[in-house]
Structure 1
Amino acid sequence: MIQVEKLTKVYKTKTALSLDNLSIQPQEIIGLVGNNGAGKTTFLSLLLDLIEASEGKVEIKEEDVSKTEDWKKFTGSFLDDTFLVPFMTSYEYLEFVAKLHGWNKGDLEDFLEQTKNFYGEDFISGKKLIKDLSKGNKNKTGILGALIGNPDLLILDEPFANLDPTSQQWLRMKIQKLAEEGVTAIVSSHDLQHVTGISTRIVMLENGEVVKDVENSDSTLEELEKYFGDKISEDLI
């Protein structure tokens, strides 16, 4: 599904990301973890061709993302508020995204009916503009937009942040169900419990490099907590 080769992003003298080789297979759920500044958002931005690589390339289904836009047809993503249109309501935004994917009004209504346990109707049916929504409802709007079009590849950055517990659990189950149906997902999160709860594989970044790439297991959460806990101990010495 995804092949990364010699991928580097340098800002002036700082190397934000340096990945020699990384392969992501169909139906994998990749949990991307690391502290702030580790390179997670840089990596996701390069995957989505939002920024230009200093060196190397990203291929999705054997197509270089910087040289074609074909991959956009089957990719759903939400990284932050900049993906949204602030002066639309949530419904208007989702209607806009649906049209981009060739959905009609009936398709969108069916989708909203199927996902209503995630968002509730308080903001989808309201007239409040996205810019005036709570952070949680902005995230819900963006995540719903990423799911429209039945993507083969789903990329989400901190999707569990600011969501209520019911919505968090719905999203966990939805991502796992999508993977069972053939979708590949990359989920970046600071919440180790959530990310290990859904992922089939954990990729950890530190200083822009992969320092851990393992199949998720019953011991992974404990190992990650120890890793980051040890860093706190080092700071206190």
Structure 2
Amino acid sequence: MMIEIKSLKKIYGGVTVVNVPQLSIAKGESVGLVGNNGAGKTTLFRMILDLIRPDTGEVLSNVEVVAGGENWKTYTASYLDEGFLIDYLTPEEYLYFIGGLHQQSKATVDEALVKLGDFFNDEILKKGKYIRDLSKGNQCKVGVASCMLQNPQLLMLDEPFANIDPSTQFRLKNMLKEANKTKGVTTIVSSHDLNHITDVCDRILLMEKGVIIKDIATNSSTLKELENYFGVGQAFEELVSVIDKIDEEENH
């Protein structure tokens, strides 16, 4: 098992933002995490990566407890947001730095970057820009590229499709599929885009208010099922809003 979660809870200000009693992700699975803003997706990611500690429970990666552990870091690559980058470096400097951490020579990194040429769309390298001066979408490309450089066994990406253009989205989907299907990389990806996530992932976890309310294998009806869930949820929220407004007017 690649990831094993047991009795995991995170509470902020008396509100439980993540409550996952049990979750197992096998080696080689491609898992999508979906849910509205505030569902707890990023908090769950951060606990899996030991960036924040749970109030109760634990996360195991390859049967090792993540909290305080070190071994899992050697095979795990992740990009959650631009805070993962070193913004005063150029993209090349940052990618050479990441490669160096994984005992890769400059020549090896250069070779990998040639393969990422289409993904970068000639907007990243040799532009003389610092990472902080890149658009959010191009920062995301650098973050994803740094993950791919590491040849991980576990790859975690939080909303990677959000700020990139359609061509890059298409290329990223192909990269993720190749990593999973060809190299056996376990991938965990969150996204608000239901089309992308059902296209890339064989298993979908639907989170609502910190709880995984659905855990489904992707099939031909999954996209429709998710669209119905989010459509009904939105309609319900709109209805509540209208009722609140009527109550307010009546009270006045």
- TM-score normalised by length of structure 2: 0.92
Question: What is the RMSD computed on CA atoms of the aligned residues?
Answer: 0.9
- Correspondences of 1:76-155 after superposition (within 5 Å): 76-155=77-156
Matched, 1:206 2:208: yes
| Matching of residues 208-223 of structure 1 within 5 Å | 208-223=210-225
Query: Residues of 2 paired with 1:131 and 1:67: CA distance?
Result: 30
Q: Which runs of 5+ in 1 are unaligned?
A: none
What's the counterpart of residue 8 of structure 1?
A: 9
Q: Contact conserved, 2:123 with 2:138, CA < 8 A, in 1? A: no
Deviation of 1:153 (Å): 0.3
Task: Give the aligned partner of residue 75 of structure 1.
Answer: 76
Distance, in Å, in 2 between the alignment partners of 1:156 and 1:2 is 15
What's the secondary structure of 2:169's corresponding residue? helix
Instruction: Quote the offset at 1:186 in angstroms.
Output: 0.2
Determine helix, strand or coil for the equivalent of 2:225.
helix
Structure showing greater radius of gyration is: 2
- Cα drift, residue 67 of structure 1: 2.9
Counterpart code for 1:161: A
Partner AA of 1:5 in structure 2 = K
Shift of 1:106: 1.0
- 8 Å Cα contact 2:32/2:197 also seen in 1: yes
The answer on whether the counterparts of 1:76 and 1:148 sit within 8 Å (CA) in structure 2 is: no
Separation in 2, partners of 1:121, 1:106: 19
- Using structure 1 for the length normalisation, give the TM-score: 0.98
- How far does the alpha carbon of each residue in 1:207-227 deviate from its partner, in whole angstroms, 9 at most, with x for none? 000100000111000110010
Partner residue, 1:227: 229
Deviates more, 1:165-174 or 1:37-46: 165-174
Residues 138-191 of structure 1 deviation map (CA, whole Å, 9 limit, x = unaligned): 100111111112000000001111212221111111111111121000000001
Q: Distance in 2 between matches of 1:9 and 1:146?
A: 27
How much does 1:235 deviate? 2.4
Q: Per-residue deviation at 1:204?
A: 0.6
Percent identity among equivalent residues? 43
Measure the CA separation in 1 of the matches of 2:236 and 2:150: 46
Separation of aligned partners in 2, 1:144 and 1:117: 12
Instruction: Check whether the contact 1:19–1:209 (CA below 8 A) recurs between aligned residues.
Output: yes
Equivalent residue, structure 1, for 2:246: none
User: In 2, distance between residues paired with 1:234 and 1:59?
Assistant: 37
